[in-house]
């Protein structure tokens, strides 16, 4: 006979004043929901709170395909309430402060909760205001971004209606979520213009603040082939600093080969802008933050370097892996088993190798599937004879369009750990 209590339906908690949980999870995005589901699958009956203010949940990897005319906007949005795993409480508020010594989280609604184990999964903050004039320019005069749910359809609208002129795509300094997304938008646009027969009328440039096209060298040759095929003007160490929407002028800060920084203005008919990104203020200004503002965790166990009862994963974790949904899919079960071990006073039991993935949509129907771990080490999920991620393949596109959304909605968010079961921790506690 099984004496384990059956999971209860998720409950919406309007106030957490005085409530105490075995595990409190801050953030109900991909990282928070996946970890909660993995925890409750392993140990139903423990008390789990998910602190998340938004009533909607977004499949952000799909926004590139919305901006490329492949997905509808509605395919990337679902009700948060329907995704909270059975057995967890949903506290619909935001964290406003942390007291790790007292094991207390203060909330935006004036209440607070206590925990035995804290898991931080707040995500990353998109700092639109860091680029002068950008917030006011978005959504008009050809200025768009696939990094916002409401703007991705405008990207596709611009791609469809643009007939000539300068199309400018930008990438800010690292770290950012999905570092390949800025150029993915560009490749899909170029492919659409090529198929319409107007590519010769559009001058495409890619201004990236980074010193290279992509951070893992093994994937650069294939990407450079597309840079050349689409005749893209690649501008390295070029950072967008201002936008004048009415004039349709973008200003860039450029670092030359001699190390001297200059500014330049570029006129545009279309501008796909990506803002710089940083840890949320509530994290940056808390005892949880490291020198970079992100939660200071051990890169293997994802446990806080100072507080043994705190873990972090996803975009807010201060680790060097790519900030992608694929990384979260690997991290969530690792944090789940380690958090449960900590709850029971046991040593850590699993570690994370830094796995992340970036499906680079180089044209409609083909993808360069970049998969890599810490240090840029290649980490393919499939044998090379099935799929060589260093080359563009149709199989990788099918995975992106059909398989990955299913893995997200019906797999990781529900605690199903296909090909990501935690590996045992080797000689470390």
How wide is the angle at C-alpha 166 spanned by C-alphas 165 and 171, nearest 5°? Answer: 160
Torsion sign (Cα): 217, 223, 228, 231: negative
| Positions marked catalytic | 178, 358
* Tokens standing for residue 422: 């935690």
Say if residue 129 is exposed, middle or buried (CB neighbours under 10 Å; 0-12, 13-18, 19+). Answer: exposed
DSSP string, 239-281: EEEEEETTTTEEEEEEE-TTS-EEEEEEE-SEEE----EE--H
Quote the CA–CA distance of 388 and 382 in Å, as a whole number.
Answer: 8
Side-chain-facing half-sphere of 151: CA atoms under 13 Å: 18
Q: Tell me how far apart the terminal alpha carbons of the chain are, to the nearest angstrom.
A: 34
| CB-based contact 26:122 (threshold 8 Å) | yes
Given the structure tokens 């007292």, which residue do they identify? 102
């Amino acid at each position: 006979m099984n004496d384990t209590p059956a999971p209860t339906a998720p409950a919406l908690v309007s106030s957490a004043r005085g409530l105490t949980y075995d595990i409190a999870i801050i953030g109900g995005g991909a990282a928070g929901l996946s970890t909660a589901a993995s925890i409750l699958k392993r140990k139903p009956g423990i008390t789990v709170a998910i602190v998340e203010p938004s009533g909607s949940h977004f499949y952000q990897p799909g926004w590139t395909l919305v901006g490329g005319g492949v997905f509808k906007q509605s395919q990337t949005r679902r009700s948060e309430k329907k995704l909270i795993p059975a057995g967890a409480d949903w506290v619909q508020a935001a964290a406003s402060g942390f007291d790790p010594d007292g094991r207390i989280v203060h909330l935006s609604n004036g209440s607070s909760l206590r925990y035995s184990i804290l898991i931080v999964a707040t995500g990353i903050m998109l700092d639109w205001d860091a680029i002068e004039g950008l917030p006011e320019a978005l959504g008009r005069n050809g200025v768009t971004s696939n990094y916002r749910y409401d703007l991705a359809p405008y990207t596709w609208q611009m791609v469809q209606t643009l007939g000539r002129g300068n199309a400018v795509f930008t990438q800010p300094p690292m770290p950012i979520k999905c570092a390949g997304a800025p150029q993915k938008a560009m490749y899909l646009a170029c492919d659409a213009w090529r198929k319409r027969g107007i590519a010769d009328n559009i001058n495409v440039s890619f201004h990236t603040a980074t010193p290279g096209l992509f951070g893992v060298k093994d994937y650069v040759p294939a990407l450079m082939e597309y840079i050349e095929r689409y005749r893209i003007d690649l501008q390295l160490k070029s950072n967008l600093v201002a936008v004048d929407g009415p004039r349709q002028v973008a200003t860039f800060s450029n670092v030359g080969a001699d190390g001297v920084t200059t500014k330049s203005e570029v006129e545009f008919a279309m501008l796909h802008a990506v803002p710089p990104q940083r840890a949320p203020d509530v994290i940056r200004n808390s005892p949880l933050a490291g020198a970079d503002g992100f939660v200071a965790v051990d890169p293997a166990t994802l446990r806080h370097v100072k507080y043994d009862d705190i873990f972090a994963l996803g975009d807010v974790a201060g680790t060097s892996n790519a900030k992608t949904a694929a990384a979260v899919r690997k991290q969530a079960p690792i944090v789940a088993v380690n958090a449960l071990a900590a709850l029971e006073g046991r040593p850590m039991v699993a570690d994370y190798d830094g796995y992340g993935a970036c499906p680079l949509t180089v044209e409609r129907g083909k993808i360069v599937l970049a998969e890599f771990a810490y240090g840029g080490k290649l980490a393919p999920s499939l044998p090379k004879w099935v799929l060589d991620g260093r080359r563009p393949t149709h199989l990788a596109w099918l995975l992106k369009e059909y398989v990955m959304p299913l893995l997200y909605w019906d797999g990781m968010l529900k605690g199903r750990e296909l090909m990501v079961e935690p590996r045992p921790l080797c000689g470390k506690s």
